Amino acid sequence: MRYGLSTTFALALVASAFATPSQPSPRQTNPFTTTPITDFDEPWSLAFLPDNRILVTEKRGQLRLVDPTTKAKGTITGVPSVAYGGQGGFGDVALHPNFAENNLVYISYAESGTGGAGAAVARAKLVLNTSGGGALQGLEVIWRQSQKVSATGHYSHRILFDGNSTMWISSGERQAFDPAQAMTSNLGKILRLNDDGTVPAGNPFTGTPGSQVWALGVRNPLGIAFDEQGRLWEVEMGPMGGDEINLIEKGANYGWPIVSQGDHYDGKAIPRHSTRPEFAAPKAWWTPVISPSSLIIYKGSLFSSWKGNAIISSLGALGLVRVEISGTTAREVQRISLGKRTRCVREGPDGALWVLEDGAGGRLLKLTPR
């Protein structure tokens, strides 16, 4: 397997003293003690409540509440109906940064409509009951992809809050290619919005929906995360080859579908990032692909030497890929097989890693140091 870096970075490495990682990181002993909690029907994402219970989305449209201590699994009612099929269905779940005061939960999902389907983000108040479940109340849709299309892939629809309660959404290009470069569309973009879906001051573009856009030219961005310095990182699935980790900067264009480190599935070549320096090149890229499904930047102390590293859940690598971030550079340092396609990785309140396996019967795993 080959492991690639951006041309700019690779050239810089030629003149530097440390080695270019031309191979994937060697297989190492699994560093984890793995505790399976329970299983789900096609789980997609998870979020911790302040009481350490965990909300888990299931792609067909269920929202579950799990107590990791008792392993009891309840249901949250009031979830909107979702357009299940292909990559579509129930997607992400995130708590408002002030959840302890406002009980607001944010969800993303694929919805049907004129022209096909598109991602939507809604928020609602989470009201818990005493029997291990609860309900979403006052649900309100606060954002939608600007057009619905018949394809069933590349919704992406990850939701992330920063410390100012600003909401970030990764909006995939829905297999429609050109909208990723068009300001008349919010497909293929990284978006920055207020917590009610309105447009905040300070975004780099104007118009509707262009004013939502923070960065453009992304393909299927399934992971977004901030590092300790407040920099935003993104992972996206490339086409045939060329999965990417990008440092997302205000107003930058990441090149899709004009440039890529991979080619079209029919074999048609796509020019590489090196041919068009006006587009921001990935900080690291993968061919063959790892199929990155989510991203965190580790901030805990349980895995003390991993602080500041990117941890990517990977469908293709059947586990986790650890990427060392140093300033604005990134390189893979470890690939940890868990034996299953992994859909989501999150850091728990105690610094443990929590992983959702992909597909029917996908388990929630707690990973602690061996």
Q: Is 254 in the site for Ca ion (CB under 5 A)?
A: yes
* Binding segment (CB under 5 A) for Ca ion, from list 56-64, 131-139, 188-196, 249-257: 249-257
Q: Does 255 bind Ca ion (CB under 5 A)?
A: yes
Q: Catalytic one among 154, 157, 264, 273?
A: 154
Is there binding between residue 238 and Ca ion (CB under 5 A)?
Answer: no
- Bridge partners of residue 356, in order along the sequence: 344, 364
Residue 202, sorted as left (phi over 0), alpha (psi -120 to 50) or beta, turns out to be left
| Span interacting with Ca ion, options 116-124, 188-196, 207-215, 251-259, rule CB under 5 A | 251-259
CA-nearest of 359, 265, 257, 278 to 318 is: 359
Which residues fall within 8 angstroms of residue 95, CB to CB, at 6 or more apart?
A: 47, 48, 49, 104, 105, 106
- Shortest distance, position 256 Cβ to Ca ion, whole Å: 5
What are the percentages of helix, strand and coil residues in the chain, rounded to 5?
5, 45, 45
DSSP per-residue string spanning 258-317: T--SSB-TTS-----GGG-TTSPPPSEEESS---EEEEEE---STTGGGTT-EEEEETTT
Nearer to Ca ion, 255 or 292 (CB): 255
* CB nearer Ca ion, residue 7 or residue 75: 7
CB of 173 vs Ca ion, minimal distance in Å:
11
Does the footprint of Ca ion cover residue 286 (CB under 5 A)? no
Q: Give 31 or 288: the residue with its C-beta nearer to Ca ion.
A: 288
Nearest distance, CB of residue 264 and Ca ion, angstroms? 14
For residue 73, what are the β-bridge partners? 66
**Could you say whether residue 262 binds Ca ion (CB under 5 A)?**
no
User: How would you class 97 by CB atoms within 10 Å of its CB: exposed for 0-12, middle for 13-18, buried for 19 or more?
Assistant: middle
3-state secondary structure of 95: strand
Alpha helices for the chain (secondary structure H): 7-14, 99-102
| Nearer residue to Ca ion within complex by CB, 44 or 254 | 254
Q: Of the ranges 134-142, 160-168, 248-256, 286-294, which one interacts with Ca ion (CB under 5 A)?
A: 248-256
| Binding piece for Ca ion, criterion CB under 5 A, among 94-102, 223-231, 250-258, 309-317 | 250-258
How far apart are CB 273 and Ca ion at their closest, in Å?
Answer: 6
**How far is it, in rounded angstroms, from Cα 13 to Cα 18?**
7
Least separation in angstroms between CB 255 and Ca ion: 4
Look up 264 and say whether it is catalytic: no
Measure the CA–CA gap between 341 and 317, rounded to whole angstroms: 7
* Nearest to Ca ion of 66, 190 (CB atom): 190
- Enumerate the active-site residues: 154
Residues that bind Ca ion (CB under 5 A): 254-255
